[in-house]
Chain A
Amino acid sequence: MIYFKEYLKPKNLQEAYEVLTSKNAKIIGGATFLKLSNQSFETAIDLIDAKLDFIRESENEIEIGAMVTLSEFGDNPIISNLYNGFLKNITENILSFQMRNLITVGGTIFPKFGFSDLITGLLVLETEVHLYKNGKIRLEDFLNTKIQKDILEKITIKKKPLAVSFKNIKNSEYDFSIINIAVSKSENEVKIAVGARPAMAVLITKDLNFFEDIDKAVESLLNKIKFSDDLRASKIYRQKVCKALLKRALREVIQ
């Protein structure tokens, strides 16, 4: 259970940041799984009124506010049209419809959840994270930082000509993924993200030439990705499933 003494809904990021840095405070994001965590702090900050629920498109990029829910994210025509619904298809299969009405994009990305399908998908696109204090950071770099006292304002996705694929496997329809994989191919580069290992997703970038023999390339890549055991699957199972999914995804985007 989560305990706190004060619940604030700031109207803007400046107000939220002042509270975050002056008190023992936490941003609660979508605030799902309340009873599965055990935390106690002074002030909960809810960004529901901070006007971060926007999705905007410009010529070169798409901006998505941190408080956009996964339902809004998946239903939005801008997102639906991006890479033939690549991100829409990922978010549509995350947990249940009711939960997707609560889970926010920021609440998924900022805590760097290992099980996140969305982070894995975003990693193979050109995604940047915009933080109120630390500014703009590439998603892959953000995942390796230890920033905690900051606020995720929005993410931006650069529009590029890419072929993309996402694969995952779950124990049941609305469980978390046991393993998830995203692949993107530009003119001469391939990006591969592997998440739910169960640790946080990793990104590997290779020249297209590296994949002349996909079977060999996958063997070589698997040696560089660390997998572990958890309640959902063993390390060995993850390795074997990853190998099959990765080959399928690579064949989809390369051949």
Chain B
Amino acid sequence: MRIKLKVNNKTEEIDIEPHEILLDVLRKLGYYSVRRGCDTGMCGICTVLFDGKPIPSCSVFAARADGHEITTVEGLEDAKAFAKLLSEEGADQCGYCSPGLILNTVYLKKIGVKDLNKAKIKLIGNLCRCTGYESQHRAITKFLGVTK
């Protein structure tokens, strides 16, 4: 089947198998920031925005995205600003989980989260095996402008 979707505001058309997963199709299209992690929706690494909301792309059929908008980290204006903070705080070690974390954190900023505890709860599904999360939390605090 052929699907048409908008990725980072660019219209893409591709032939897929009906049961193909969005993660695989996005990588076929060249969006390599979308990385494979646990493949069960639990690690957050493959996160993309589907019509503006974060979802694990390993847990969605690509056919569902037909006619919808997908945003990867390449398409986020604020991504570089947050990536710089991650780097400054030493929170970007292997960097494998960064695209998912960046997408989710930028989304939290968009919906106005300014409380670090709320941010931590919303980011529960973003696993990182390098940082121990403290350095990530420092970067998140600065990026969101956390007030308490």
Question: A residues touching B (Cβ–Cβ < 8 Å)?
Answer: 1-7, 9, 28, 31-36, 44, 46, 48, 71, 95-99, 101-102, 173-174
B17 to A: closest C-beta gap in Å: 9
**Bound-state Cα–Cα, A28 to B1, Å:** 18
Is B79 interfacial (CB-CB < 8 Å)?
no
Q: Are B1 and A7 in contact (CB under 8 A)?
A: yes
Pairwise interchain contact B21-A34, C-beta atoms closer than 8 A:
yes
Q: Provide 28 A-B residue pairs closer than 8 Å at the C-beta atoms, listed in order of the A residue.
A: A1-B19, A3-B19, A4-B18, A7-B1, A7-B18, A7-B19, A7-B63, A9-B64, A31-B59, A31-B61, A31-B64, A34-B58, A35-B39, A36-B40, A44-B61, A46-B61, A48-B64, A71-B53, A96-B42, A97-B122, A97-B123, A97-B124, A98-B55, A99-B56, A99-B59, A99-B125, A101-B50, A102-B55
Q: Which of B7-49 contact A (CB under 8 A)?
A: 18-19, 21, 39-42, 44, 47
CA distance A48 to B61 in the complex (A): 12
Q: Interface size of B by Cβ–Cβ distance < 8 Å?
A: 28
Given A2-B19, A32-B41, are A102 and B59 also a contact pair (CB < 8 Å)? Answer: yes
B residues neighboring A (CB under 8 Å): 1, 18-19, 21, 39-42, 44, 47, 50, 53-56, 58-61, 63-64, 66, 104, 122-126
Contact of A6 among B18, B53, B104 (CB under 8 A): B18
Which residue of chain B lies nearest to A75 when distances are taken between CB atoms in the complex? Answer: B111
Known: A6-B18, A34-B61, A97-B104. A102 touches B125 (CB 8 A): no
Contacts of A4 in B (CB 8 A): 18-19
* Chain B residues within an 8 Å CB radius of A34: 21, 58-59, 61
Which residues from A are CB-within-8-Å of B40?
33, 35-36
Q: Which of A33, A48, A97 contacts B54 (CB 8 A)?
A: A97
Given A31-B59, A46-B64, residue A101 in contact with residue B53 (CB < 8 A):
yes
Query: Cα distance A101–B53 when bound, in Å?
Result: 7
Contacts of B58 in A (CB 8 A): 34-35
What residues of B have a CB within 8 angstroms of the CB of A2 in the complex? 19
* Given A7-B18, A44-B19, A71-B53: A98 in contact with B44 (beta carbons within 8 A): yes
